[in-house]
Amino acid sequence: MKVVIVGGVAGGATAAARIRRLDERAEIVVFERSGYISYANCGLPYYIGDVITDPNELTLQTPEGFFTRFRIDVRLRHEVTAIHPERKTVSVLNRASGETFEEDYDKLLLSPGAKPTQPRLPGVGLDRLFTLRTVEDTFRIKDFINRHHPKSAVLAGGGFISLEVAENLQKLGMEITIVQRPKQLMNPFDAEMAAFIHSEMRRHGIRLALGHTVEGFEETDGGVNVLLKDSAPLHADMVVLAIGVAPDTALAKTAGLQLGMKDSIVVNDRMETSIPDIYAVGDAVQVRHFVSGQDALVALAGPANRQGRIAADNICGGDSRYTGSQGSSVIQVFDLTAAATGLNETNARKAGLEPDKVILSPLHHAGYYPGGKLMTMKVVFEKQTDRLLGAQIIGYDGVDKRIDVLATAIRAGLRASQLKDLDLAYAPPYSSAKDPVTMAGFLIDNVQKGILKQWFLEDADQLPRDGSVTLLDTRTPLEFASGHIDGFRNIPVDELRERLDELAPDKPVYVICQSGLRSYIASRILAGHGFDCYNFAGGFRFYDAVKRDRCLIESATACGMDR
């Protein structure tokens, strides 16, 4: 059996090695149009910022190493230009010599990946405009920085690459501005959770121009002007376009393979395309979202690796199945860690679901052990079915551990309220006896049983201030004096039982405290005395952080950026 693989990196290289492990006699040929067969593309921003200093560290495998260990024929700088399914060959261009030839195959695996989205705007193509997808892109940016010593950069886009590049360029001493059309960074997060990412970026001097549309670029004064719709241009020494990626499927399209959303390659759960003996994996394929069941594009290394293994199994006569992607991801944002899995609330609603949520701010380890740091958790679930839909966590320590537990719970089909039953490791330096994940389960269980009724950030402005409801803040007087929501009165939770006569028993009570714990206790006290009460999800700390962020975004629209 002869297998031709188009593209290396995560999916293609993984498949090649797996095929060899399953079939010692197979002939395996990998064509890679770049100069690198397997590299750490997630590490590219950190080479730019000198966190990774040796360029050889970016190379996970070499053609020589692949051949020595696996007897795989890797041909770099060879671009497959056409597929001929009727005669089971591919046309190949040797980009170094200019030679063209055809290569036959029994099985063909496509792993072309994705390409940076290139907007059709005036000025695209200027020397000071960059994209970051390959090792060559990285070296081009690094060489420009070393030669020209830029003092400022504008990053167009607010996703993973943009934030990682922003942090690394800032650590090189550059002034950074991020321009993003939506009014938030990091779309895997709901807007109110993204507020904590915005705050961390601003804290490190990153300027944010959220809600602004880039209309073009022009070279001027030894730099680049980034032209914005309805706002003054932004000037910088260099620009990085990081507005997203699109499946790189021109080859598949010309060959007549069935395409799906954004021209991605349609595959079944065996990673088979619409043409027999042709498989596809990685960022170029359309997958099923594990939670929503809908078609999705998930450009992440983990899914690409698993898909490569599955395709290899099936090429070798097995029957492996890809069960879907849920988009588990994590990113370092200066001192913060932000992680997500499954569906956020926004996307759950777009998928036609009716989500509910809990928001909590636990310490990452036992409160009595020194050094505990807060994290903000949002867990999304379907109230009627108790199905766990997704989670987002932002904090400093222990974030990745908790998101992986929640990702596993989703994959295992646990109900949201069953999080309370998880038996998780506990020692004071690492967790609490009530781990943040189990705490989320306790909250959800209370919601499902009707013990806890909630109100949310989006309800705050609609609450009547005409006396028809009671608005109650149960923090200390000092906390209340330092900031509170207009219309709320202050009765500390520890004084509540003695002051119940100050509250009208026939009016609903909306309760808030700093984190949600004291207001929950107050709600139980009130409920025990016949009051109809609702607890604010997230607490005043959460409310204040989100409101401050939104005010900064709205006030910045006139000048084009904020700090």
Write out the catalytic residue numbers.
Answer: 42
Q: Which helix (H) or strand (E) holds 462?
A: none
Residue 462 burial (C-beta neighbours within 10 Å; 0-12, 13-18, 19+)? exposed
**75 in helix, strand or coil?**
strand
Of 8, 227, 200, 53, give the one whose Cα is nearest residue 129. 227
**194 in helix, strand or coil?**
helix
88: left (phi over 0), alpha (psi -120 to 50) or beta: left
Please enumerate in sequence order all residues whose Cβ is within 8 A of that of 350, keeping only pairs 6 or more positions apart, or say none: none
Nearest 5 degrees, angle CA 41-CA 301-CA 115? 60
Please enumerate in sequence order all residues whose Cβ is within 8 A of that of 341, keeping only pairs 6 or more positions apart, or say none: 326, 327, 328, 329, 390, 391, 403, 406, 407, 410
| Angle between helices 301-315 and 9-22 in degrees, nearest 10 | 30
The two tokens of residue 522 are: 């107050």
Where do runs of H (alpha helix) occur along 204-322?
250-255, 301-315
Both ends of the chain: CA-CA distance in Å?
A: 59
How far is Cα 174 from Cα 327, in angstroms, rounded to an integer?
Answer: 32
**Measured in whole angstroms, how far is the alpha carbon of residue 255 from the centre of its chain?**
32
- Going across the sheet that includes 78-84, the strands are 78-84, 89-94, 100-104
The two tokens of residue 303 are: 């899914």
| Angle between helices 191-203 and 160-171 in degrees, nearest 10 | 10
